[in-house]
Chain A
Amino acid sequence: MRELRGACATRERHEEAPAPASTRRGGRSKRKPPSFSRWLGSCLAGRVGPAPRSIPPWPAFVPAGAAATLPTRPATPGWMAPGHEIAAEAKRRVLARALAELLGGTVYHERQRLARHPRGVQRAEDRTFVAKLHRALAHAEDPSALLEETVGRYAGEIAGHFDPRVYAFATRVLPLAFTALLNGTTPGEALFRVPELGRLSDRVVTSGAIERLRALERLGTVVLVPTHVSNLDSLLFGYVIHALGLPPFAYGAGLNLFTNRVLGYFMHNLGAYTIDRTKSDPLYRELLKEYATVALERGQHQLFFPGGTRSRSFGLERRLKKGLLGTTLAAFRNRAASGAAEGRIFIVPATCSYPLVLEASSLVDDFLHRTGRERYLPPIDEEPDRVELWLGFLRKLMALDVNLDVRIGEPLDPFGCAVDDRGRSLDPRGRTIDAAGYLRSRGEICADPQRDAAYTEQLEERLLEAYRRDNVVRATWAVSFAAFELLRRRFEAEPVHRLVRRIHPGTSIRRTELLLLLTELLDEIARLAEKGAIARNEELGAGPEEVLEQGLRCFATYHGFPVLSARGEAVVVGDASLLYFYRNRVEGYGLLSAPSLLPEEAS
């Protein structure tokens, strides 16, 4: 019987036995008899008898510095160095060269990064380190120590820390402080007066598969993967996790968030580990993925944003970071291979629906500059995040008396299969299956990078579908979509960044016209919502007049220029890029038969 499938792709190759001690020089002192071929050679040359011993050897070339390790050729002709010794030395050199090449990559990628992001965090230290590494590589006999140091340095940067005392403090005090600040009181006052604890929780409305999330959290390891639009997201989801009564989650946060000392302190001690997205060194990337994998294997719940970065356009994620997403499968596989039957891994999508976005202006500017390629602006990730800015924004949001909808989606396994309340994977028809079977080839669980990447792609597809379904439409988005579509029909400019530029501040739309289109849009959204293809905030339940009013009211509070404002019988555009930004959240549903206005986001 022939084998059906090839042997497991990653059957580990046996590491070659360690080289014999390089100090084995004993063989040199032994006198070897002249070899047969030499003897034969001399016979053929007409000399019979043993080879003469008087021919002087060639002077051996010994590079400076290597003299200590290179055994010099003895002055006896006919001597042969033992092959294994030569092989051992050659092997050592090749290994050293391979390591040096790897580290050369680190030097290259780090240099590139430092040049691209001159304002980056820890720039001076990194520069020094890279320079040092580069110098050391030129002379290193054995670069493994350098490799150890480099990876160790990255590991130290990534490593999160969790301090239960800080967590207890933060979860007890922070909501109070938050609530107080949002109410316009000082934290001190709030602690003494009995604060309205309910305030924040009133505003954040969590819905969806909450019970299932709670159940699964006890059965295995949960990875919460929300959409990402704002730096507030990590805070918000941190709060949601706490408010749902779940244990703390670890999460990867951008390096820039750690620059604020207070925030950095909390983040660090609340289990955040650091992700520096600007680092392109493959060693760093591998380490980051492995960190997440190990954390998952050990049962640490995690929160991460699979979009990788905040959506610059406010459009829903269209592709996810498969590297990080794939760590769920890697962890699942490692657990399954080690025979751990229980301890599954669940991926839980989530969305948050903001009526207004804290960083809307800088995000959309960045997006338009990238797609328009007009000029280069440094990535906005490097802006310091200011807590006061956040609180000011939140306070305005609270003043609006609107909810932040957080939706917890249906949990999935690392293959993208649905999961039931008992943590069992389900097939598309709801039958329970043994998901570990997806990793078996000829009965054995094994790693196969291509296969696993294809599974992760399926998980990605399921998550993207979930985001679209759980996208809770707000009045501001619907109004922007309708208004922008009217303007698009009027100006007919292409591509979109040109269109945005043509819509000057002060451009007005007739209110009746806008209402007409808005009515149509709301109907279409309602129909989609009935099919479960999209979700609606309660704001959208009202008539088009009210939706328009609500949208305008929101826009009036936060941005420098109101995105849209009413002026008599007209609605006036204040900021076309922001109008474009808010409309993008409902792009991709084929609403109003509008063409797609979202160019591929440059990564």
Chain B
Amino acid sequence: MSAENAVAVLGAGNWGTTLAQLVAENGFDVRLWSRDPEQVREIEETRLNPRGMPGLVLSPRVRATAEFARAVRGAEVVLLVVPAQAMRQVARSLGDVLSPEQLVLHAAKGLELGTLARMSQVLAEETCAKRIGVIAGPNIAPEIAAGEPAGTVASSRFPEVVRCAKRLLTSNRFLVFGGTDVVGVELASALKNVVAIAAGMAHAMGMGENAMSLLVTRGLAEVTAIGSSFGARPATLSGLAGVGDLMVTCRSKHSRNHRIGEALARGESLEAAVARLGMVAEGVTTAVAARALAAERGLECPLLERVYSVLHEGLAPTEALEQLLRLRAGRDVAWS
């Protein structure tokens, strides 16, 4: 196979492995990079990646490697699927080997702590990449790996990046919608994780469907307020990456953030809950970023604020809920 059409997938976790498989099933060569040589050997020998996606037999087109440069050099497209807080480090190494010809997509749902940078901003700061896009949506990896139908959004200022994401990923089980609002998709997909934690807590507390709906919708209103103050189009937040992703993370048992919320409501400590999950729950760190973003724009976000307090200040979930219910109800949605 010619190297020039290869796709580099950086990150062999749950979603990275699934995306690599989707791309490979569409007939492209995939170089799956993992920083763990042990995992690489296992994939190469058994075609299985039990730590990433148990039970998934990887296509022979997926070649795992631990050598960063080998994965990236000459690849037509680089797809980053790493945790938000690791993005800058990976992007730094990427900057050493990336060339302006290559297109870059990322599927990380989070914001960088400290700088509050979005992932595409981190990539633009650390690499020569300009043609950058983001993939986000209601994508629970195990379902997609099992061949269940799903859809996602690919967003970029560059139409060719969107076209490329569609070519790589579209199948009769997976729909890829296009968009240009990168800010909207990135903020929506990051901030909804915080709402998902709240939904998890409510779920474990045995709240009714009305209450769940109230919680999630108010959460969305707060996410939309923050998003539009940073230039996101409100319509994006009601799209797949916003409402779509929110619906799944707030309901699904698979959702990591949802599980963290549930564990907290049952009285587990955050550390214990994260340890038991064994994967990164972006919402935990995004709650910190969300609070800072809201403060920066002078926005009141009571729900996001309470989730932060529960996660990082030891507020009891029941007390947080009580506080929320005591708030004066203002306008339903912002004036447009």
Contact = CB atoms under 8 A, between A and B. Distances in A.
Contacts of B92: 429
Nearest to A429: B95
A208 interface: no
B4 A442 contact: yes
Contacts of B148: none
A451 B164 contact: no
Contact of A6 (B77, B163, B168): B163
Given A2-B26, A442-B76, A431 B160 contact: no
A1 B100 contact: no
A433 B1 CA distance: 27
Interface string A1-32: 11111100000000000000000000000000
B159 interface: yes
Contacts of A513: none
Contact of B157 (A3, A434, A454): A454
Contacts of A433: 99-100, 128
Contacts of B163: 5-6
A455 B160 CA distance: 13
B157 to A, nearest CB: 5
Contact of A4 (B96, B130, B158, B164): B164
A431 B95 contact: yes
A431 B28 contact: no
Given A4-B164, A457-B157, A435 B100 contact: yes
Contact of B125 (A4, A428, A455): A428
Contact of A427 (B1, B77, B101, B127): B127
Nearest to A9: B160
Contacts of B77: 4
Interface in B65-104: 76-77, 92, 95-96, 99-102
Nearest to B125: A428
Given A428-B124, A428-B125, A428-B127, A4 B5 contact: yes
Contacts of B128: 417, 427-428, 431, 433
Interface in B146-204: 157-160, 163-164, 167-168
Contacts, number: 82
A435 to B, nearest CB: 6
B122 to A, nearest CB: 11
A455 B95 contact: no
Interface string B123-144: 0111110110000000000000
A216 B128 CA distance: 22
Interface string B1-40: 1101101000000000000000000111000000000000
A457 B163 CA distance: 20
Nearest to B156: A454
Contacts of A415: 130
A438 interface: yes
A438 B1 contact: no
Contact of B101 (A1, A437, A451, A458): A437
Considering residues B1, B128, B164, which has the most beta carbons from chain A within 10 angstroms of its beta carbon? B128
A187 B5 CA distance: 69
A1 B167 CA distance: 12
Interface residues of A, number: 29
A5 B100 contact: no
Nearest to B2: A1
A4 B74 CA distance: 13
A4 B28 contact: yes
A431 B167 contact: no
B164 A5 contact: yes
Interface string A414-439: 01010000000001110101111110
Contacts of A440: 100-101
B1 A428 contact: no
A383 interface: no
A457 B156 CA distance: 14
B100 A451 contact: no
Contacts of A451: 131, 158-160
B5 A1 contact: yes
* Category for how many chain B residues contact A: 20 to 34
Contacts of B27: 1-2
Contacts of A450: 158-160
A5 B167 contact: yes
B2 A437 contact: no
A441 interface: yes
A237 to B, nearest CB: 30
Contacts of A458: 130
Contacts of B1: 1
Contact of B95 (A4, A427, A454, A457): A427
A339 interface: no
Contacts of A435: 100
A431 B96 contact: yes
B46 to A, nearest CB: 26
A47 B149 CA distance: 66
Interface in A288-328: none
Nearest to A458: B130
A433 B4 CA distance: 19
Contacts of A454: 130, 157-158
A65 interface: no
A2 B167 contact: yes
A416 B104 CA distance: 18
Interface in A517-576: none
A49 interface: no
A4 B6 CA distance: 9
A442 B76 CA distance: 8
A415 B126 CA distance: 16
A451 B160 CA distance: 7
Contacts of A59: none
Contact of A2 (B28, B96, B126, B158): B28
B76 A437 contact: no
B159 A428 contact: no
A443 interface: yes
B27 to A, nearest CB: 5
A434 B99 contact: yes
Interface in A438-495: 438, 440-443, 448, 450-451, 454-455, 457-458
A431 B163 CA distance: 29
B119 to A, nearest CB: 15
B170 to A, nearest CB: 11
A429 B192 CA distance: 32
Contacts of A436: 100
Contacts of B125: 428
A435 B5 CA distance: 21
Nearest to B92: A429
A379 B24 CA distance: 61
A443 B4 contact: yes
Considering residues A415, A427, A437, A457, which has the most beta carbons from chain B within 10 angstroms of its beta carbon? A427
A438 B131 contact: yes
Nearest to A416: B130
Given A450-B158, A457-B157, A437 B99 contact: yes
Nearest to A5: B164
Nearest to B100: A437
A328 B158 CA distance: 19
Contacts of A417: 128
B160 A434 contact: no
Nearest to A428: B125
Nearest to A436: B100
Considering residues A6, A429, A435, A457, which has the most beta carbons from chain B within 10 angstroms of its beta carbon? A429
Nearest first, the 8 A-B pairs at minimum CB distance are A437-B100, A427-B128, A437-B101, A438-B100, A454-B157, A433-B128, A440-B101, A450-B159
22 contacts: A1-B1, A1-B27, A2-B27, A3-B167, A4-B5, A4-B28, A4-B76, A6-B160, A428-B124, A429-B95, A431-B96, A433-B100, A433-B128, A434-B100, A435-B100, A440-B100, A440-B101, A442-B4, A443-B4, A450-B159, A451-B158, A454-B157
